[in-house]
């Protein structure tokens, strides 16, 4: 099957790699000439507003998906008029705007942080008064990895926050006093069948995901599945979705969802019976979904900014290395490792070894 993928970063690359043995052959539409996914599939190197590229792409592919959520939705709409697009356009559009996303959560009875739309400095002052401080001002669109965010701790921060982000639609979110951040990766097939991975427990550093530990059997798994299940059903979703949640003393509060495979699910490549990438491909290709059960005790450590020497990483037992083929750059995700062990304590030991190595090689 020829699968069209919008985007050509590491998520596309990992999708492509897992597609090969299933005879799913990707065509990446990605404007960046050096896109790291191009090694594992055909590369249509063109701007997303190029009508000739659109025609060529839609003509070549049987099904279309995307690997990042800032795809221009009109382009996806034009493709959808010609070939099936999964996940559905509506899911993408909701996820692209923090306000509509929060509104959907509210409509489904899913708890979120308190929020208010902000379109002027005056509206920001009102929102601060109503939500209290601290609070986070965010762009409604195009934020990722902590970008497009400003933490307001006192009223004195308001002008600077407005200065930094104002001019585009914004949202102010109240602080959620969480004990941990988790995410749940789920997949829904074309036939409506749904599977959920064990919870990912996530630790961020400088706004970027740093480590994830799989938590099979977590007491909040049923709560997370119930929330994600509502979302999948409401969106008539097809594909993999990742929902980020705050654990507020046992109650899960939705943060945001991504209509795609997600960094916090990368441990599934070696650490689950079927990876999130394979399950996404199975879902969009109309194939039966695979088991999400854990294999061993998996975790992921992101390699951010720089890559430690390969030989040193491989010398650590139970470590599986994924370099993305991207140039090193501060705050850029350039790879990850999966740790897969036989026990919890062994997992912590391996994570510590990887982190130590990263610090040495910085």
Based on the shown chain and the rule CB under 8 A, indicate whether residue 296 belongs to the binding site for its own copies: yes
The answer to the question of residue 12 lying near its own copies (CB under 8 A) is no
Residues 126-165, interacting with its own copies (CB under 8 A): none
Which parts of 312-341 interact with its own copies (CB under 8 A)?
314-315, 317-318, 321-323, 325, 340
Binds its own copies (CB under 8 A): choice among 109, 311, 359, 362: 311
The whole-angstrom separation of Cα 14 and Cα 266 is: 9
- Binding to its own copies by residue 83, rule CB under 8 A? no
Alpha-carbon dihedral angle through residues 165, 331, 68, 244, given to the nearest 10 degrees: -80
Rounded CA-CA distance 238/181 in Å is 25
Token pair listed for 195:
């599977």
CB of 168 vs its own copies, minimal distance in Å = 37
Cα–Cα–Cα angle for 109, 111, 114, nearest 5°? Answer: 120
CA gap 176, 183 in Å, rounded: 16
CB 282 to its own copies: min, Å = 6
Span from 50-58, 254-262, 288-296, 352-360 in contact with its own copies (CB under 8 A): 288-296
Q: How far is the CB of 14 from its own copies (least distance, A)?
A: 9
47 binds its own copies (CB under 8 A): no
In the structure encoding, which two tokens stand for residue 18, read together?
């897992």
**Nearer CB in complex with its own copies: 67/69:** 67
Min dist. Cβ of residue 44 to its own copies (A): 16
Strand 135-139 and strand 149-152: the pairing is antiparallel
Reduced DSSP (H G I as helix, E B as strand, rest coil) percent helix, strand, coil of the chain, to 5: 35, 30, 35
Nearest to 286 by CA among 62, 126, 107, 133: 62
Q: One symbol per residue from 238 to 277: x for binding its own copies (CB under 8 A), - otherwise; what is it?
A: -----------------------------------x----
> What is the distance between the alpha carbons of residues 122 and 157, in angstroms, rounded to a whole number?
14
For residue 267, the minimal CB distance to its own copies (Å) is: 14
From CA 230, how far away is CA 4, in angstroms rounded? 28
In terms of CB distance, is 22 or 78 closer to its own copies?
22
With 0-12 / 13-18 / 19 or more C-beta atoms within 10 angstroms meaning exposed / middle / buried, residue 359 is exposed
- Contact between 288 and its own copies by CB under 8 A: the answer reads yes
| Options 4, 5, 12, 13; binder of its own copies; rule CB under 8 A | 13
Task: Give residues in contact with its own copies (CB under 8 A).
Answer: 13, 17, 20-23, 25, 39-41, 273, 282, 286-288, 290-291, 295-296, 310-311, 314-315, 317-318, 321-323, 325, 340
């Amino acid at each position: 099957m020829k699968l069209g993928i919008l985007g050509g970063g590491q998520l596309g690359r990992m999708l492509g790699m897992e597609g090969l043995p299933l005879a799913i052959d990707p065509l990446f539409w990605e404007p960046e000439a050096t896109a790291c996914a191009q090694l594992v599939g055909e590369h249509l190197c063109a701007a997303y507003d190029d009508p000739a590229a659109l025609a060529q792409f839609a003509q070549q592919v049987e099904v279309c998906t995307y690997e990042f959520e800032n795809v221009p939705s009109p382009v996806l709409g034009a493709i959808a008029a010609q070939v099936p697009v999964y996940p559905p356009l509506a899911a993408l559009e909701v996820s692209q705007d923090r306000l509509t996303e929060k509104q959907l959560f509210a409509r489904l009875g899913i708890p979120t942080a308190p929020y208010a739309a902000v379109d002027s400095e005056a509206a920001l002052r009102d929102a601060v008064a109503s939500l209290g401080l601290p609070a986070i001002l965010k762009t409604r669109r195009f934020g990722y990895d902590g970008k497009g965010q400003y933490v307001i701790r006192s009223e004195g921060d308001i002008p600077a926050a407005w200065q930094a982000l104002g001019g585009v639609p914004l949202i102010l979110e109240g602080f959620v006093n969480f004990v941990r951040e988790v995410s749940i990766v789920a997949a829904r097939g074309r036939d409506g069948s749904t599977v959920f991975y064990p919870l990912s427990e996530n630790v961020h550093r400088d706004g970027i995901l740093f480590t994830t530990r799989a938590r099979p059997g977590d007491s909040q798994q049923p709560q997370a599945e119930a929330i994600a299940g509502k979302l999948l059903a409401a969106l008539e979703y097809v594909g993999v979705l990742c929902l980020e949640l705050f654990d507020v003393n046992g109650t899960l509060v939705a943060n945001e969802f991504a209509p795609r495979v997600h960094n916090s699910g990368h441990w599934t490549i070696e650490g689950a019976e079927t990876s999130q990438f394979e399950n996404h491909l199975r879902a969009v290709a109309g194939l039966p979904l695979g088991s999400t059960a854990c294999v061993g005790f998996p975790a992921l450590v992101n390699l951010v900014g720089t890559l430690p020497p390969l030989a040193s990483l491989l010398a650590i037992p139970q470590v599986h290395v994924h370099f993305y083929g991207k140039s090193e750059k501060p705050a850029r995700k350039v790879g990850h490792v999966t740790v897969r062990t036989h026990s919890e304590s062994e997992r912590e030991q391996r994570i510590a070894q990887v982190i130590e190595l990263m610090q040495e090689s910085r």
